[in-house]
Chain A
């Protein structure tokens, strides 16, 4: 119990499309241990993004519960959810989603605007995060002046800068070539191994999933476990 970070209990998600009710999954159970590096695979439309959004407090299940460190988060108010995301979750997107008018350093600092840290502390922390992803020398560059892989590493720095317990990545290498993808995946792996970050990564790429410690296959609303990664 002590090393359980997230628990999904009998969670269901359904949309009503007109008069029709479309269920994406029902009664889904899931446990994410502290220090896990989990890959989630599955066909398009199987609900991977939806699940990730629920884990991160972006979306709510229509039934069941989501617990983070033993406390329910699915019934929090909008502003409490925002505070929860700011404090506990780091997000990495397929298309990096950096602010084009801000430098790498400034992009990484963004989440820290929501903290009580001083200007100098914010700068130092952002620099440290950029150091971890190996981009200290690109701190002053704007996203347009960085390659895709570099942009994604800046996005990773942004996701870890406020030291969240959980990192969620939705197809983080979906837009990158093999070699660059491997670089980014190596960074994630190091975060997990060296810094003890819990990571949940959605991917379509079996090779990417190999960087995780464990892969879950989501299909037709249920998990099909295919064993540990080598």
Chain B
């Protein structure tokens, strides 16, 4: 028999109750681990955006299309230098979980505008010349083992070919890295025309127009000029710098971050109440026993420490199990999902936060009951029996 043994025996005398409490804490930390990992990945800043390039999107929402005829009209704007466009393909490789960020683009203008992509001239020319050509970011090429010259069938989760097939064959013309941004090489681009002609619906619509201006100092005026051009037309536009566009995109994800924080917060408040209430109940039930321990000579401090230790063990047990399961679950998810989900991990900062939360939970749920136990008055405790 040891002091430690006494604490453990007390903890497990009501096995079901202890199990349920630990389980509740476990769920809270599982939610915390998984959601924090996602939040971390999602709210990381997207591609190194340019402060000088302008992006023209549908005013309603950037997922709404624009007519391709707009491209020519934007080219007519005085400050417009190179004008290109991009359309979301919603591609995946072999299976939907192998999600591939993919765009149909105008090849010549695309390679001209995105000068930060490291490509040889030969690769650029090959891409422009081959109607089925595709440029692949190095990370993706490495992940799927694609080489220059390979034919890669990509399926779209949105579009169909006219013959009903959902797969397009692309030939890898070049593999690029992004010289400006570390993770800016996890997507592919191919010929918009090739994709546009063969798709069964949504023809001649594009996602966004990208404008390299001649004088970036005039960008604000140019953006206004473009938007005014399309006022009262079928699709009004919103023109921003690429950086501003990325920031608004991140802001939407930031809302997700807030939701995650709210969910985790609610889970913890609930757990705090459940575990705190259980500890309070436990101590109240044991009032008589605590009085006996005090009579025998256990000091108030020792009793306080005993109860607080119990609540710490509960929090640690549930917390470690929850974080451990989150780790395993994210590993399995990453193994299945490839690219994007593979990046969702428990970072050291998440683990540190988890430990702080465990300690906080242990303290908050144990303090009041421990205080109560410590203050138990022997005489009144016995008189109550």
Contact = CB atoms under 8 A, between A and B. Distances in A.
Interface of A: 53, 56, 58-59, 78-79, 82-87, 91, 93, 95, 97, 99-102, 105-106, 109-114, 119, 122-123, 126, 158
A182 B294 CA distance: 29
A53 B1 contact: no
Given A58-B295, A79-B299, A79-B300, 5 more contacts: A85-B296, A87-B297, A100-B13, A106-B1, A126-B1
B287 to A, nearest CB: 12
A113 B2 contact: yes
Contacts of A53: 378-379
A97 B289 contact: yes
A110 B1 contact: yes
Contacts of B297: 82-87, 111, 114
6 contacts: A59-B378, A78-B300, A91-B296, A110-B6, A122-B1, A123-B1
A82 B13 contact: no
B385 to A, nearest CB: 7
A99 B7 CA distance: 12
B258 interface: no
Q: Which of B5, B288, B295 has the most CB of A within 10 A?
A: B295
Contact of B1 (A79, A87, A93, A102): A102
Contacts of A84: 297
A125 to B, nearest CB: 11
Given A95-B385, A106-B1, A122-B1, A58 B299 contact: no
Contact of B294 (A82, A100, A105, A113): A82
A109 B5 CA distance: 12
B61 interface: no
A51 B295 CA distance: 15
Interface string B372-385: 00000011001001
Interface in B289-336: 289, 292-301
B3 interface: yes
Given A93-B292, A95-B385, A58 B9 contact: no
B10 interface: yes
A122 B6 CA distance: 14
Contacts of A112: 1
Nearest to B6: A113
Nearest to A85: B297
A58 B377 CA distance: 10
Nearest to B303: A82
A102 B9 contact: yes
A110 to B, nearest CB: 6
A93 B299 CA distance: 20
A101 B10 contact: yes
A105 B5 CA distance: 13
A79 B298 CA distance: 9
Contacts of A102: 1, 6, 9
A87 B299 CA distance: 13
B1 A101 contact: no
Contacts of A93: 292, 382
Nearest to B4: A113
B10 A114 contact: no
Contacts of A109: 1
Nearest to A112: B1
Nearest to A168: B295
Q: Which of A84, A102, A113, A126 has the most CB of B within 10 A?
A: A113
A56 B294 CA distance: 12
Interface in B162-216: none
A101 B13 contact: yes
B1 A99 contact: no
B2 A79 contact: no
Contacts of B1: 102, 105-106, 109-110, 112-113, 122-123, 126
A69 to B, nearest CB: 17
A113 B303 CA distance: 13
Nearest to B13: A101
Contacts of A111: 296-297
A113 B1 CA distance: 8
A59 B379 contact: yes
A120 B252 CA distance: 65
A122 B296 CA distance: 16
Nearest to A95: B385
A86 B296 contact: yes
9 interchain residue pairs of minimum CB distance = A86-B297, A109-B1, A101-B13, A85-B297, A106-B1, A97-B292, A82-B299, A101-B9, A111-B296
A110 B296 contact: yes
Contacts of B382: 93
